[in-house]
Structure 1
């Protein structure tokens, strides 16, 4: 299957928006830390969702066709568009609550509703590709990969915001250390989960029915997709982000500033996200013998 670039950037930016908002709410509302990033992280999430939604309309060739697709409530486009709208509306309400200095309980409630919608949206983005006619996609592991990818991007996005807004005076050193320790731990856990789910996806491809060379594990590991897998997914998606996150606010980090290390980590996981989607479309051959 040819690479559908509008869908690549649709799912990438939607995942970034979902991950950023979820990470922000968990850190600021659930744990009460780094509340200075609530507004900027929410705005980034809305912008990312908007870019993703715009990319989705480009896939239709003519954006006005979106209105026809929205007329079918059971379609994937309808479900994704509805969830993007609901999540965007929830984030706007959350921003208004923060702006009006609403109580902590109110902000936490609204933010938690947004977290549920964001996780569901990331899952639905992957679930839209689960098709029986495409063996490499016909697995629930695929939407789990989308959720894991969104989580990793969210951790690094929040890390960049923390590095950019961190206050270095003595009064906040302890709080900054505790907050960055949480981000490190969350990022490393999500990277590990992503690695496990990625291995599970390879196992699925290996045992999927209707085997074909176009979607074989050998093509991924040693064939023409090996560079994408080892260089894009393993190196840029797992190893480099893990190393850079470990260096985030680590003493004697060999001259690498916290902002530089975490920004490079975010760039790395974004590139890896694009590479994964390229790999996914490259494996998207159908059950040809049935046609």
Structure 2
């Protein structure tokens, strides 16, 4: 893995920030829980800042990142631009809250900010789609990153909601369960893509993932911690565990699961590095 650990945290934190900001936009448009606004906006900024810092730490010469801005088609340019635009929208949202802006203006700001947030969540996965690396040559990757952002955003939003109604709790549980199922389907789709990838090699095969050297990472980190435990937490009754506690544990688990998928992806794609 080496320096790729910084990219694991970069994409994970960015997905968290993007997912939460989209959740704030939905919260604003449907006037669900006004109390979540301030804490949610600050949390988004923190997540994006941690993601940006992780990205910079990946570079051997961070000062040279400005050179990427002269290449608008590069992945770094797209990611940096979307982070900047999303961050500006979050700051505009905070400024509007500070000035007690009208609800209509708040809705407009979050709608505008949600667009680059969705693009960013997709782009951080799309950057790794490369024909030169068979294990990465599939559009399942960016959709998996997008799904990860949605799940992370749901759990983070649930933590920040103040005194949610029973109806809202039920709706959030159903939404989260649906997103976890979609994420599970995407994991299966990725295994299918691995099985059908060109230039097959046992080191990056589905068999290696399911029963080989990466099986513990896949079954333990992705399936059990990243999918099954969070899904189970959404089925608990309110009397058995505090909603905030279950949401917090769920967020930790899905974050671990997201990181585990990225570690798996990097290991599967690294088998060609020895030629460079």
1:149 counterpart residue number: 148
Aligned-partner Cα distance in 1 for 2:14–2:104:
27
1:71, distance to aligned residue in structure 2 (A): 2.6
Aligned ranges 1:91-106 → 2 under 5 Å = 91-106=90-105
Conserved in 1, the CA contact under 8 Å of 2:204 and 2:271? Answer: no
Matched, 1:280 2:265: yes
Given the two structures, how large is their TM-score scaled by the length of structure 2? 0.95
Counterpart of 1:220 in 2: which secondary structure? helix
Q: Choose the corresponding residue for 2:239, options 237, 244, 252.
A: 252
1:38, distance to aligned residue in structure 2 (A): 0.9
Deviation per residue, 1:2-26 (Å, 9 max, x gap): 5601111110100010011111221
Given the two structures, how large is their TM-score scaled by the length of structure 1? 0.90
2:19 counterpart residue number: 19
1:170 counterpart residue number: none
Mean Cα displacement is larger for which, 274-283 or 68-77?
68-77
Matched, 1:218 2:207: yes
Q: Choose the corresponding residue for 2:177, options 188, 192, 195.
A: 188
Aligned-partner Cα distance in 2 for 1:50–1:252:
36
1:266 counterpart residue number: 251
Aligned-partner Cα distance in 2 for 1:202–1:214:
13
Aligned-partner Cα distance in 1 for 2:99–2:274:
61
Matched, 1:199 2:188: yes
1:93, distance to aligned residue in structure 2 (A): 0.9
Structure 1 residues not aligned, in runs of 5+: 167-174
Matched, 1:117 2:110: no
1:31, distance to aligned residue in structure 2 (A): 1.6
Mean Cα displacement is larger for which, 219-228 or 73-82?
73-82
Conserved in 2, the CA contact under 8 Å of 1:15 and 1:149? Answer: yes
Distance 1:288 1:161, change over 3 A: closer
Matched, 1:179 2:168: yes
